[in-house]
């Protein structure tokens, strides 16, 4: 989801159907306010969260929202679905329909799911270049051994996408449980990586995304707004 940045004069013209020449006049007369301050510069760049008023009339007043949800198993990471309950159905947030999902989880995966209406923020968290770690607890059908550690660190070639996965960290917790940290989120990535060992994943739970850790007291299905500190981290 891309953020919507625009030049102020163009934004007002599109929003009001007033021609650009007249918009410049209104700006020069000091009749436009951006975030509570008079704006005279036609080149000013605004985004979807800039509050814009023309002669006291609000043209745009969106506020960014950031939500943490404990996604339960059996709920689909989508905004609409014919068959299953969606993660949006679980939210109590008043503007929940304006939110998008930051990194989907499979139907049978539980754990931390982030939602926002801020496209720039979600892009930063999810793009592999930013190297934000996503930490998962994985339960396997068959016993693990240390050979998995190097295979995950070396990366695996996925023919379908013609990519090699970025180095991933695998820590063995016990015979059937591992912690896996990924810097990316390819389709069914963890299941496919363990699939190379013919070892089916029987439980998958996302613990954290970067420094944002799922609250231990948030029961499956519950959500809360992120703190300003979590958003800026």
Which residue number, 27 or 190, has a Cβ lying nearer to ligand URA? 190
Q: Is 109 in the site for ligand URA (CB under 6 A)?
A: yes
Distance CA 31, CA 25 (A): 9
Which residue number, 12 or 201, has a Cβ lying nearer to ligand URA? 201
The residues that bridge with 213 in the sheet, in sequence order, are 208
Q: State the DSSP H helix or E strand holding residue 22, giving kind and residue range, or none if neither.
A: helix 20-28
Q: Is 188 in the site for ligand URA (CB under 6 A)?
A: yes
Phi, psi of 202 (to 5 degrees): -105, -10
Told to judge if 81 belongs to the known catalytic residues of this protein, a careful annotator would answer: no
Residue 54 burial (10 A CB sphere; 0-12, 13-18, 19+): middle
Distance CA 222, CA 35 (A): 33
Distance CA 60, CA 47 (A): 10
Q: Is 214 in the site for ligand URA (CB under 6 A)?
A: no
Which residue number, 117 or 189, has a Cβ lying nearer to ligand URA? 189
Which residue number, 10 or 188, has a Cβ lying nearer to ligand URA? 188
State the nearest-atom distance from the C-beta of 181 to ligand URA, in Å: 11
Q: Is 91 in the site for ligand URA (CB under 6 A)?
A: no
State the nearest-atom distance from the C-beta of 192 to ligand URA, in Å: 7
Q: Any idea which residues carry the catalytic annotation?
A: 106
The residues binding ligand URA (CB under 6 A) are: 105-106, 109, 188-191, 204
């Amino acid at each position: 989801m891309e953020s919507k940045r625009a030049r102020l004069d163009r934004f007002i013209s599109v929003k009001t159907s007033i021609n650009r020449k007249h918009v410049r006049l209104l700006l020069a007369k000091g009749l436009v306010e951006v975030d509570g301050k008079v704006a005279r510069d036609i080149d000013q760049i605004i985004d979807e969260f800039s509050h814009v008023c023309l002669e006291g009339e609000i043209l745009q007043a969106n506020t960014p929202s950031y939500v943490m949800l404990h996604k339960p198993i059996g709920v689909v990471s989508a905004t609409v679905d014919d068959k299953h309950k969606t993660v949006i159905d679980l939210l109590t947030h008043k503007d929940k329909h304006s939110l998008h999902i930051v990194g989907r989880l499979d139907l049978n995966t539980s754990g931390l799911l982030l939602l926002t209406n801020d496209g720039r923020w979600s892009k930063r968290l999810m793009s592999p270049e930013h190297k934000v770690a996503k930490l998962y607890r994985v339960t396997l059908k068959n016993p693990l051994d240390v050979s998995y550690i190097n295979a995950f660190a070396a990366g695996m070639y996925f023919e379908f996408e013609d990519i090699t996965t970025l180095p991933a960290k695998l820590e063995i917790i016990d015979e059937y449980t591992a912690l896996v940290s990924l810097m990316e989120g390819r389709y069914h990535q963890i299941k496919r990586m363990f699939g190379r060992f013919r070892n089916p994943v029987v439980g998958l739970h996302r613990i954290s995304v970067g420094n944002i850790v799922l609250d231990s007291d948030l029961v499956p299905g519950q959500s809360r707004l992120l703190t300003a500190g979590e958003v800026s981290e």
